[in-house]
Amino acid sequence: MATVLRWGIISTGSIAGVFVKDLLVDPKTRDVHDVVHKVAAVASRSVEKAQEFINKNAGGDPAVKAYGTYEEVYADQDVDAIYIATPHTLHHDNALDAIRAKKHVLCEKPVTSNASELRALLAAAKENGVFFMEAMWTRFQPLPQAVMKLLEGGELGAPVVLHADLSGNFDIHNIPKTHRILDPVLGGGAILDLGPYPLVWAIMALYENPLNKFTPPSNISASILKTPLTGVDANTSFTLTFPKIAAQAILSCSINLAASSPGVTIRCEKGAIHVAAPIYRPTSFKVEYFGANSKVVREEEKSFEYVGHGMHFEADEVARCIRDGKSESASWGHNKSLLEMAVFDEVRKQGGYTLPAGVEKVVWPN
């Protein structure tokens, strides 16, 4: 018998719609038979919006409850886990409310505004005995897992330099300054919104490399160009050095440029892997194998297809962890989110990007 996980959805924004549609994809289409997902309730700041969202993304299913406050979904006894998809700077408060109501939580990336907020949430999750995970969906998709397996297999030798970029052209001169990508109150800018993706590739390929033994980067160097429109970071680059495996990650993100492809290149001693954009849900990659003098002697292309957008893989992980009584995922556990937030704190510190007073609910260092 498959385990049924009953979800409560917080917010009716664009990614919440994609997530709900993925929850409703039949798990058998991805050869999953042990867990299934049920959308039990949707909460918005307006009950009409919640109902419209259900009509649009869940076929108007009358079994899905529409709420006009987030508190109602936290209190609903028919909800097991909450998916939080509000703007970044609201994640801490929304997740804390859910945790205090003893709900398991899957919280969109970036999990919080800073590492101190995350530490506070993890303490609350422990105290309340609930599962907590950042929605780092890329980590659970088939292609990144195949790339990790290839790197671990050793045929390409050790990874030496990883390049990863995620850019998106948000048309920043023509959108309102209150748009979440531009508004510092909502944690706007490239690093918090797009930065998680180049970073997750560095974590998967370098930090999680078995020879690295989860040794954190010894050095983080960052540079930020802010937009005069609102002062959020428009173009950010950062490098991480992993001394244990003598490897470096060169990472970048921009909100005023289209994505380039390949978005990730992993250069190893005996070959290279090129991952086609978009790096948050890639569907193809190319492997080059080097011969003498590092000349490419063989190339292979791999592609991946599945029904849905790819957010259901992380949802399956949440369902299995909760079924098994776990407090965190082994694949994207608390330490990896903590590393991510520590890197972003450092990048913002070096680049001089501070959020307005009061936006961060717990302020570093704590």
Contact residues toward ligand NDP (CB under 6 A) are 11-16, 44-45, 49, 85-88, 90, 108-109, 135, 137, 180, 193, 280
Q: Which does 212 bind (CB under 5 to 8 A by kind): ligand NDP, ligand LJPVP2WV, none?
A: none
What's the chain's Rg over C-alpha atoms? 20
CA distance 304 to 81: 29
Q: Closer to ligand NDP at the Cβ: 90 or 99? A: 90
What are phi and psi for residue 323, nearest 5 degrees? Answer: -55, -40
362 binds, among ligand LJPVP2WV, ligand NDP, none (CB under 5 to 8 A by kind): none
CA pair distance 222, 251, nearest whole angstrom: 9
Residue (66 or 85) nearer to ligand LJPVP2WV, CB: 85
Q: Report, as residue numbers or ranges, the catalytic residues.
A: 109
Q: Exposed, middle or buried, 15 (CB in 10 Å: 0-12/13-18/19+)?
A: middle
| Residue 242 binding ligand LJPVP2WV, by CB under 6 A | no
Burial 326-345 (b: 16+ CB within 10 A, else e): bbbbebbbbebbbbbbbbbb
CB of residue 338 to ligand NDP, shortest distance in Å: 18
Q: Which is nearer to ligand NDP, 48 or 269 (by Cβ)?
A: 48
Q: Is 168 in the site for ligand LJPVP2WV (CB under 6 A)?
A: yes
- Contact in structure between 362 and 120 (CB atoms under 8 Å): yes
Asked if 193 interacts with ligand LJPVP2WV (CB under 6 A), we say yes
Q: Does 280 bind ligand LJPVP2WV (CB under 6 A)?
A: yes
With CB under 5 to 8 Å by kind, the binding choice for 168 among ligand NDP, ligand LJPVP2WV, none is: ligand LJPVP2WV
CB 90 within 8 A of CB 361: no
Burial 150-182 (b: 16+ CB within 10 A, else e): bbeeeebeebeebbbbbbbebebeeeeeeebbb
Residue numbers at the binding site for ligand LJPVP2WV (CB under 6 A): 168, 193, 280
